């Protein structure tokens, strides 16, 4: 089925009305709350276990109503149905988008796409993963010397790393004691070296996560890990220095998450120990697929099922709740309001839970790789700004780093605060400090006091009159005044459980989808990551010393590569340095003598890299926007299928 062209949001009646609302808006959260006691209750919602307070956002009831109208006018209901039913909405790769099918549950049935029984295949693969995870956890999967596995090392990058790392950190209280998971992603050799440090090869299991088993970073790291394993085992005498010994060791200490079974076998991994997923699962949407195998091992199959069930709770809310009560829709449309009308291009996610310290990084890929597009799904240029810069840090660390910018800077930065009622580690400060912190104080409550206070401070600020009333010298009043009217959303849940984490992830998946629909972009491809990777392969020979490859680079790249080679040589051979002697390049031995001993070497014959040339750069077709301004508040008085081998990119 050919999908219709996207609707230009600027052509809709709702967009016209929202533009009018913005131009006449005078944000006044203090005033709005003072005159509308029911505002907080009316603009708070329940989605599964998540209580979501939207009342401190810079919207009126009329603005919210028009945002919901806009969602209908760009055909959001039809797009939701198309995604969940398996239509090929990823048009640039001609694929369905069915990460939601990964969590439909063991009793799900009836989802057939292109002849594939999706529910049957998903459940079969999940059972295979669960069985494997149980074998590792129960010490039934043994290494080559008969020892149980104590450390699992996940090798992947992008969605094969960010999701598993984030979940592993978030669900730390649910991990099996004595079984550690480490993650290698960066091709920087320091990453692998540091992650392998202190490991016993006899008790280490590697999971190589690459759908096509061709991802350069992942496969390079996998080969290095294989090399480390074999050399270590041979050196200790654990295996014989024979092909058969190496083959057995690799089969016992490596498994794969991939659909390219031929390449898996070439690497030395038994294809039986390869866990698959499908081309309708994008990398950044794959943590609930076989990519989560390391998580299933860490927290156990039952907890992993609870994790998936959490996604399903939010999926059901998203597909069945009216838009005026639908949290993913409301939050997604609020983001549209801030990006496209209030010119806020940065969005902070601030979890008041240390276990979620990797959540902002996870959301960076989810949101920016999905919606950082300048063309719509039909190939036409976008008509409005798209995407946001997502960032953040766990509280209260962020308070002592960048909250100054959020509170008193000139940029409008919407914030999402996330907190949990029950702490993973309830502690009390028995001594206290004799002042603000009383003896026996509940530390989690001190922590959450900051969660509540920060959104309050952002919303209501502190007027000059209030600052003066504290006896502040007049010269310091401006510096101590807070404008307020800084928008935020607060999300509160009972406890950070596997289910609640699944709900949180699915919430942001659907928020991202909603925004993509309004903007008319394909949120499920990522062509923007391809060019740099291809150019890296072209530059690599130059970096390694090829003068021919270097000569084909642009002047800037030639200069940088040449400088790198000089610095690398100087660092590795600190006893030598290059000097110029009558036009010749010479190597000088650095000695205590005043005059160095010099031996000549021929100069390189390649042409100068300093030749200037003009380069035409195509400008992205982004519409001009006004300078970001927060509408001022009025003056006021002081007041209180089976896995396939389809050509899929790893992301």
Would you name the residues annotated as active-site residues?
A: 369, 400, 533
Complete DSSP assignment for 23-41: HH----HHHHHHH-TTHHH
Nearest-angstrom CA–CA distance, 79 and 513: 9
Put residue 646 in one of left, alpha, beta given phi > 0 → left and psi -120 to 50 → alpha.
Answer: beta
Angle (CA) 62-518-166 rounded to 5° is: 105
Dig out the tokens for 335 from the structure.
Answer: 């983001």
Q: Which H/E stretch holds residue 113?
A: strand 112-113
Nearest-angstrom CA–CA distance, 373 and 486: 27
Instruction: Describe the strand order of the beta sheet including 576-581 as a list of residue ranges.
Output: 576-581, 584-589, 597-601
- How do beta strands 204-209 and 180-184 pair? unpaired
DSSP at 350:
E
Dig out the tokens for 292 from the structure.
Answer: 């989560």
Contacts with 450 (C-beta within 8 Å, 6 or more apart), sequence order: 352, 395, 396, 399
Instruction: Describe the strand order of the beta sheet including 254-257 as a list of residue ranges.
Output: 180-184, 151-155, 204-209, 254-257, 274-275
Residue 167 phi, psi dihedral angles, 5° rounding: -65, -40
* Burial class, 237, CB count within 10 angstroms (exposed 0-12 / middle 13-18 / buried 19+): exposed
351 half-sphere exposure, CB direction, 13 A CA radius: 22
420-425: long-range contacts (C-beta < 8 A, 24 or more apart)? 420/353, 420/492, 420/493, 420/494, 420/495, 420/496, 420/500, 421/492, 421/493, 421/494, 421/495, 422/494, 422/495, 423/447, 424/172, 424/173, 424/355, 424/496
Mind spelling out the 3-state secondary structure of 547-568?
A: HHHHHCCCHHHHHHHHHHHHHH
Q: Which H/E stretch holds residue 46?
A: strand 44-47
Instruction: Count other C-beta atoms under 10 Å from residue 261's C-beta.
Output: 18
Complete DSSP assignment for 141-180: SB-TTSPBP-EEEEE--GGGTHHHHHHHHHTGGGSPTT-E
Alpha-carbon radius of gyration of the chain:
28
Nearest-angstrom CA–CA distance, 582 and 639: 79
602 within 8 A of 314, measured Cβ to Cβ: no
Dig out the tokens for 18 from the structure.
Answer: 């929202």
Q: What is Dmax (Cα atoms) for the chain? A: 86
DSSP at 380:
P
How far is C-alpha 93 from the geometric centre of its chain's CA atoms?
22
């Amino acid at each position: 089925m050919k999908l219709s062209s996207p609707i230009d949001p600027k052509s809709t009646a709702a967009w016209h009305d929202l533009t009018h609302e913005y131009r006449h808006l005078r944000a006044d959260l203090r005033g709005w709350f003072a005159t509308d006691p029911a505002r907080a209750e009316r603009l708070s919602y329940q989605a599964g276990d998540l209580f979501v307070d939207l009342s401190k956002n810079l919207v009126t009831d009329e603005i919210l109503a028009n945002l919901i109208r806009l969602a209908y006018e760009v055909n959001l209901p039809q797009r939701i149905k198309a995604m969940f039913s398996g239509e090929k909405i990823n048009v640039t790769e001609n694929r369905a988008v069915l990460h939601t099918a990964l969590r439909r549950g063991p009793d799900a049935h009836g989802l057939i796409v292109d002849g594939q029984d999706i529910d049957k295949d998903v459940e079969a693969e999940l059972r295979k993963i669960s069985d494997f995870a149980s074998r590792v956890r129960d010490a039934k999967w043994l290494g080559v010397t008969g020892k149980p596995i104590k450390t699992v090392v996940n090798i992947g990058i992008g969605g094969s790393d960010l999701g598993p790392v984030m979940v592993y950190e978030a669900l730390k209280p649910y991990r099996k004691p004595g079984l550690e998971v480490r993650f290698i992603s960066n091709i920087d050799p320091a990453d692998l070296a540091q992650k392998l440090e202190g490991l016993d090869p006899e008790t280490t299991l590697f999971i190589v996560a690459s759908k096509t088993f061709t991802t350069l970073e992942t496969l390079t790291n996998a080969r290095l890990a294989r090399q480390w394993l074999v050399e270590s085992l041979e050196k200790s005498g654990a295996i014989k220095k024979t092909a058969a010994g190496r083959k057995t060791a690799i089969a016992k200490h490596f498994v794969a998450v991939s659909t390219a079974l031929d390449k898996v076998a070439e690497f030395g991994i038994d294809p039986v120990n390869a866990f698959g997923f499908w081309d309708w699962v994008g990398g950044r949407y794959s943590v609930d697929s076989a990519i989560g195998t390391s998580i299933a091992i860490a927290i156990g199959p039952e907890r992993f099922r609870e994790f998936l069930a959490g996604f399903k709770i939010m999926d059901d809310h998203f597909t069945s709740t009216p838009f005026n009560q639908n949290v993913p829709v409301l939050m997604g449309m609020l983001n549209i309001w801030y990006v496209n009308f209030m010119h806020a291009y940065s969005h902070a996610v601030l979890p008041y839970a240390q276990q979620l310290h990797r959540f902002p990084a996870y959301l960076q890929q989810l949101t920016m790789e999905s919606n950082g597009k300048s063309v719509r799904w039909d190939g036409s240029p976008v008509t409005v700004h798209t995407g946001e810069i997502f960032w953040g840090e766990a509280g209260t660390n962020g308070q002592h780093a960048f909250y100054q910018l959020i509170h008193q800077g000139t940029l409008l930065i919407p914030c999402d605060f996330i907190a949990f009622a029950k702490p993973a580690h309830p502690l009390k400060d028995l001594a206290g400090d004799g002042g603000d912190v009383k003896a026996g104080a509940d530390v989690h409550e001190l922590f959450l006091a900051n969660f509540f206070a920060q959104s309050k401070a952002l919303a209501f600020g502190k007027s000059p009159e209030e600052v003066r009333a504290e006896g502040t010298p007049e010269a310091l009043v401006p510096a101590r005044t807070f404008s307020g009217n800084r928008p935020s959303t607060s999300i509160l849940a009972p406890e950070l459980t596997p289910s609640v984490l699944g709900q949180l992830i699915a919430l942001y998946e659907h928020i991202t989808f909603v925004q993509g629909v309004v903007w008319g972009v394909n949120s499920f491809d990522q062509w923007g990551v391809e060019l740099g990777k291809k150019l890296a392969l072209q530059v690599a020979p130059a970096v390694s010393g090829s003068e021919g490859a270097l000569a084909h680079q642009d002047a800037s790249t030639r200069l940088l590569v040449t400088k790198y080679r000089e610095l690398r040589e100087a660092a590795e051979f600190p006893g030598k340095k290059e000097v110029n002697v009558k036009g010749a390049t010479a190597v000088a031995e650095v000695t205590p003598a005043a005059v160095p001993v010099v031996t000549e070497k021929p100069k390189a014959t390649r042409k100068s890299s300093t030749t200037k040339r003009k380069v035409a750069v195509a400008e992205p077709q982004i519409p001009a926007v006004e300078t970001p301004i927060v509408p001022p508040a009025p003056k006021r008085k002081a007041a209180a299928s089976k896995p396939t081998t389809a050509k899929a990119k790893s992301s």
